Structure 1
Amino acid sequence: MPHHRLVLQPTTLFLRIFFLLLSLPSPISTFLYQSHHLQHSAKSLVYHSSRRHSRSLIQRQLLNKINDFMFSGMRHNPKPTTEVGDVTVSISDAFDGGNIKFIGTRPNELDPKNTTDVILHIKPDRYTELEKIGHMQYFCFRATVSGLKKPHKVKYCIENAEATSYPEAWFGTTVCYSSNMGDVDSWYRNQDTHYTDGQLCWEHQHVKNGAVFFCYFPPFSYSRHLDLVSRCTQFANVESLGQSLEGREIECISVGSGKSVCWIIHRQHPGETMAEHYAEGLLTKLLGLDNKGKVGEDVQNILTKYTFYVVPCMCPDGAVRGHLRTNACGANLNREWATKRFYQAPTKERSPEVKAVLDKMDSTGCDIFLDIHGDEELPFNFISGAEKTPNWDKRMESLHGAFVAAYCRASDDMQQKIGYPAPPTTADAEKYLNVATNQIATRFNCLAMTLEMPFKDCLTKRDPSRGWSPARARALGAAVLSPLEYVHPYLRDKTEFWRNLPPEDDYVDTTDDYEAELRAAQEFVPLMKSKRYYSDVHEIHPSKQVQ
């Protein structure tokens, strides 16, 4: 394997010394903060009451900025190509949504002559100050093989899989692969994927020269996002609610003439790409994008009852960067919906995406809210509610139960038994009023829910070769109109309407313990018994801190 060497120019050496000095708690950092050219970088972090804490935050942000500058031309590996005999394997994440770092190669222990091990690392998101972690889990990269004269096997190993945000989630994961990233329905699952000794590994037989893409879940590129928004413009009102930190528009598609207001947002966590595939399915159904704007009577009817506001991508910067959970500056948008103690949110400086949407919601009101996500660990589609929040009562519980039951009737990919357990007390729920679903339920006294889709195969309807896929996510998005129609009469009903609902609409307490389902399928997957609610890393690993 060629030696990987990075030569630093004198200017870069100077900046590295500067970078080191800046990390020290000295008057230098204070002076730099006050300088005109660095003020803007620091603004987004002046939200702590403690001057000492503020200074450390400013230093961290400045270090991030300088690091970006120093390595702006070296975001990817300086020489990510390795030669194995006559065969060359080149690894790249230099594309929209890419994320991987090439570490090196090693001889395969079992078959060193015919198999090459390629060692990789997932790159972390920007450091998240509120959660004290650099999230990472999502990956997407291109492997190009050249000089191939006969089929050659490559074993890909993500060496730092154990250090990711949700290492438990690797059990049962199957990596996605495709030779045509432009075709979102061309992805298959590598069923050889296994998580052993803290590494996620899989083998791929390269039968001809060319590129193969590998990822955690099939991407939804920014160009596809722009195309989706453009197609919606013909049949709905499309507006920008504001811009992201890097200047990308936060588009909102609105349609319908009904008095009830429905907000559906997607992809707060950029690595949860299935959320935007879901948005595409929803918008295609709602606007007739696949039929020149013509929609059926069911859609025409629901458009007279609701006015829809749909945000297909809340975090475009993180999506382009290949992040798992954060925007360009490291903010986890689903923790930016309200101030939490000293941490003010949302702000234009750190979370303009959330602020723009919340400001618009305040002007329109909200009668029902859905936040679309993906869950790394649970192999099911499920809906999590605003249980135990201040406004949670029999009305809310009944609306939630009826909606989930109606969704299950509309799609056999939805189920109501497995999901996040509800917080045990109101005090526990109130700690998370900065989460979108909880904040909207409390702010508007409305039914608010988080819909989660799996990264893995969906155990309610298995498809090992494809797993949970973009096509099924689109279908689930289209199916949501049925439960929205079903609960519409009750959204603001002040009577005890639940007395007239059928028993199958009853609220169901969810559990994350799906061992019974696995035993029935004669499978075993290690489970985490202390499953968090709200996907909080520190509820799972109190001491976890990824730098």
Structure 2
Amino acid sequence: MKITSNFDSGNIKVLALSEPKDIQLEINADNGSEFFQWFHFRLESTPFVEHSLHINGLEKSAYPEGWDDYHAVASYDRQTWFRIPSTFSDGTLKIDVEPEHKQMYFAYFAPYSYERHLDLLAFAQSHDGVDIEVLGETLDGRDMTVVRVGEPDAEKKTIWVVGRQHPGETMAEWFIEGLLHKLLDDEDPHVAALLQKAVFYIVPNMNPDGSVRGHLRTNAIGVNLNREWQTPSLEQSPEVFHVLNKMHETGLDMFLDIHGDEALPYNFVAGSEGIPSYDARLESLENRFKSALLTITPEFQDEFGYPKDEPGQANMTVASCAVGEAFNALSYTVEMPFKDNANLPDQYYGWSDRRSYQFGQDMLAAIVAVVDHLR
């Protein structure tokens, strides 16, 4: 019997591995920080034997409430990820499983590998009207890449979409893959109409170092990128530094920052109502966008989410607030669940990579509803 996490985005610590029904594990914290929640590992053992995996110490994890009603995902082929019944009690997540094959993979959510990230960039650049630009390097020396879709024009709106500031929130890049695939469908008349009015700048992965290292929330040195947007630096947060500089170069009329929420079992958005320049125009844009999304997909709802900031009380280090204020633009954080969509539960898959992908495609239709009103 063997457990390993020595691969892209792998994360687990083995405490005891003597009996199949008494496997004791812990999650490693992000380098340089106390955040931990993401796990990804492979079990190699005898098929059709009952195994009990115990992931311990979760009362100290980044979001302990995220384990309530949570079920781990697993895969045999690393393509299809399904839910395994899991129970949480006294700080321990227990996963009971009888593997059907010798090797079985487990993760907090369906992983999105760095190789798939590179494949997505390669796919994008093969299409007309697309430009791939490396803005700079991360602390581990990986590329910070933005994908431009559409030809820039002073009359067009400029729309930015970024994902995976928090690397363990892999649903964000599945979302962006879906959005990009639809945006690059040259037979889609809605996309053709949209690209006559807007140019897109898309960063599929804001945190490639944390993604490869198996981090939940931070970059290579333990910095939470979504608290760096007020004063990013090359020393601490080059990922934000390079992207923000490019935003100021291109201008910006709309911004979507794609995330995952550990605790809430819903898809929702969080706006910038607490920024100093928030006014009736921005409120109208937010309402128009949400109304469109509610009409387009039953996966979205606007009843459950984060409390709204009081006027002038926004955290200006957060991307959606900092960008909304800097550009006086419609700016939203988009959140998806790690668990399931409680309004449309799926016992076998829960909220999944495929549903995230589709949600990304649906988001484009909501953008169509607001693009003429962005400025």
Once the 2 structures are TM-superposed, how far is the Cα of residue 491 of structure 1 from its aligned partner? Answer: 1.3
Cα pair 1:382 1:419 within 8 Å, conserved: yes
Structure 1, gaps ≥5 residues long? 1-88, 108-114, 129-133, 289-293, 339-344, 493-547
Structure 2 distance, partners of 1:172, 1:221, is 26
Say which one has the larger Rg.
Answer: 1
Matched, 1:104 2:16: yes
The structure whose residues are more often helix, as a share, is: 1
Q: Indicate if the aligned counterparts of 1:382 and 1:414 stay in contact, CA closer than 8 A.
A: yes
Q: TM-score w.r.t. structure 2 length?
A: 0.96
Per the normalisation by structure 1, the TM-score is 0.66
**Per-residue displacement from partner, 1:415-470 (whole Å, max 9, x unpaired)?**
111110112352x31xx101000000100000100000000011121101100011
Residue in 2 that maps onto 1:44: none
SS of residue matched to 1:480: helix
The gaps in structure 2 that reach 5 residues or longer are: none
- Contact 2:276/2:311 (8 A) holds in 1: no
Does residue 409 (structure 1) correspond to residue 284 (structure 2)? The answer is no
Aligned to 2:90: 197
Match in the other structure for 1:67:
none
How far does the alpha carbon of each residue in 1:129-153 deviate from its partner, in whole angstroms, 9 at most, with x for none? xxxxx1100111100014x6xx211
| 1:126 matches 2:12 | no
- Checking the alignment, whether the CA contact within 8 Å between 1:285 and 1:295 is kept in structure 2 is no
2:356 to 473, 476, 491: 473
Counterparts of 1:257-268 in structure 2 under 5 Å?
257=151, 259-268=156-165
Counterpart amino acid of residue 11 in structure 2? N
Equivalent position SS for 2:21: strand
Letter of the 1:93 partner, please give it.
Answer: S
Residue 229 (structure 1) aligns with? 121
Confirm or deny that 1:141 pairs with 2:45.
no
Alignment of 1:224-373 (within 5 A): 224-235=116-127, 236-257=130-151, 259-288=156-185, 294-338=186-230, 345-373=231-259
Counterpart code for 2:358: A
Deviations 1:17-40 (A, max 9, x none): xxxxxxxxxxxxxxxxxxxxxxxx
- The one-letter code of the counterpart of 2:180 is L
Q: How does 1:20-39 map to 2 (within 5 A)?
A: none
Whether the 8 Å CA contact 1:268–1:325 is kept in 2: the answer is yes
Q: CA RMSD in A?
A: 1.2
CA drift at 1:105: 4.1
Show CA shifts across 1:352-396 (max 9, x none). Answer: 110000000001110000000000000000000001211111111
Counterpart CA distance in 1 for 2:322 and 2:187 is: 33
Name the amino acid aligned to 2:32. Y
- C-alpha separation between the residues in 1 aligned to 2:187 and 2:195? 10
Instruction: Determine the C-alpha separation between the residues in 2 that align with 1:491 and 1:230.
Output: 30
8 Å CA contact 1:270–1:316 kept in 2: the answer is yes
Checking the alignment, whether the CA contact within 8 Å between 1:105 and 1:116 is kept in structure 2 is no
Mapped partners of 2:332, 2:170: distance in 1: 19
SS of alignment partner, residue 206 of structure 1: coil
Contact 2:26/2:55, CA 8 A, preserved across alignment: yes
SS in 1 for 2:343: coil
Query: Which letter maps to 2:112?
Result: F
CA contact (8 A) 1:218 1:470 kept: yes
- How far apart are the structure 1 equivalents of 2:310 and 2:195? 38
Partner of residue 262, structure 2: 376
Partner of 1:117: 22
Secondary structure class of the residue paired with 2:43: strand
Give the alignment partner of residue 368 of structure 2, picking from 481, 485, 501: 485
Post-superposition CA distance 1:274-303 (Å, at most 9, x none):
000001000000012xxxxx3311100000
Query: How far apart, CA to CA, are the structure 1 residues paired with 2:18 and 2:297?
Result: 46
Contact 2:36 2:62 in 1 (8 A): yes
Contact 1:286–1:295, Cα closer than 8 Å, also in 2: no
How far apart are 1:197 and its partner, in Å?
A: 1.0
Determine the C-alpha separation between the residues in 1 that align with 2:359 and 2:292.
13
Distance 2:334 2:24 in 1: 34
The ranges of structure 1 where at least 4 consecutive aligned residues each deviate by more than 3 angstroms after the TM superposition are: none
- Secondary structure in 2 aligned to 1:116? coil
Q: Are 2:163 and 2:259, in contact at CA under 8 Å, matched by a contact in 1?
A: yes
- SS of the counterpart of 2:209? helix
Task: Find the residue that maps to 2:175 and give its secondary structure.
Answer: helix
1:540: which partner in 2?
none
Contact 1:116-1:155 at 8 Å conserved across structures = yes
**Contact residue 194 and residue 200 of structure 1 kept, 8 A:** yes
Partner of 2:275: 389
Per-residue CA deviations over 1:158-206 (Å, capped at 9, x if unaligned) read 111111010011001010011111x1xx111012x11101111110112
- In structure 1, C-alpha distance between the alignment counterparts of 2:365 and 2:99, rounded to whole Å: 44
Matched, 1:91 2:36: no
The equivalent of 2:104 in structure 1 is 212
Which letter maps to 1:252?
A: V
330, 336, 347: which one aligns with 1:453: 336
Go from structure 1 to structure 2 and tell me whether the alpha carbon gap of 1:472 and 1:326 turns closer, same or farther (over 3 Å shift).
same
1:413/1:476 contact within 8 Å kept: yes
AA aligned opposite 1:152: V
